[in-house]
Amino acid sequence: MELTEAQRLAERLMAEHGLAGWTFRFDRARRRAGLCVFSTQVISLSAPLTRLHSEAEVRDTVLHEIAHALVGPGEGHSERWRATAVRIGSSGRRCVDAEAPRVPGAWVGVCSAGHRVERHRAPQRVASCRECAPGFRPEHLFEWTHRGQSAPMHPSYVRELAALQGRAPAPRLLGRGQRARILLPGRFAGAVGVVEKVGRTRYHLRTSSGVVTVPFAGVEGV
């Protein structure tokens, strides 16, 4: 659906259902079609997905988010939310129809058995195929390409893979209760936490923002 038409549809439906003071916008999400932000009173649609979806699919997404606005925060996809969604003309589905078009991930991982997974961002952690075996199994690692071509992987991925394959010395493990600083770039870069759990390849760190899982090579003791 054209974005200008989708915006007119969304704003008309918002007005029809009494969302005075609410505004509409597009965002760049690639995995979810819509969003209801209570704190700023915004109904948002994914521009990439809106371009792929039909008018009926966009309408259902808008009504889905309007229902969230009508029932208020804290309801999630409760029975009250679903009843409201159906009452105003939505399908009441929690997610977009599985058959609806989607934005393909730029990164594609393929295991030795040919199973595929997609990611929209460069993988930062080594992963194995869950269709081949539950849990992490090094013999079922994914090989990654970016838009069909080989591409450099994230540094933390490279370090973790090298350690797993014995091409680099395994990091000296910290124990439960020890303090550690996160070295990897991103939201939690530089954060300090306490090791709550030591997994197969990752620490579970209790930080001021909650529990964060980080590859062994991505932390240092403090």
Q: Is residue 100 domain-resident?
A: no
Task: Give the tokens for residue 64.
Answer: 């889905």
Q: Are residues 57 and 112 in the same domain?
A: no
Q: How many domains does the chain have?
A: 3
* 74 contacts 108 by C-beta, under 8 angstroms: no
Q: Are residues 201 and 147 in the same domain?
A: no
Of 219 and 3, more confident: 3
What's the average model confidence in pLDDT over 154-168?
Answer: 78
pLDDT score of 171 more than 80: no
* 219 contacts 204 by C-beta, under 8 angstroms: no
Determine the Cα–Cα distance for residues 104 and 108; give it in Å rounded to an integer. Answer: 9
pLDDT score of 125 more than 90: no
* 131 contacts 110 by C-beta, under 8 angstroms: no
Of 211 and 157, more confident: 211
What's the average model confidence in pLDDT over 135-147?
Answer: 88
Q: Is residue 151 domain-resident?
A: yes
Q: Are residues 75 and 141 in the same domain?
A: no
Domain that includes residue 134, residue range: 107-165
| Residue ending a domain, choose from 140, 165, 190 | 165
Q: Are residues 25 and 78 in the same domain?
A: yes
User: What's residue 196's pLDDT?
Assistant: 95
Q: Order the strands of the 42-46 sheet from edge to edge.
A: 23-27, 42-46, 34-37
Look up the CATH number of the domain holding residue 18.
Answer: 3.30.2010.10
User: What's residue 169's pLDDT?
Assistant: 56
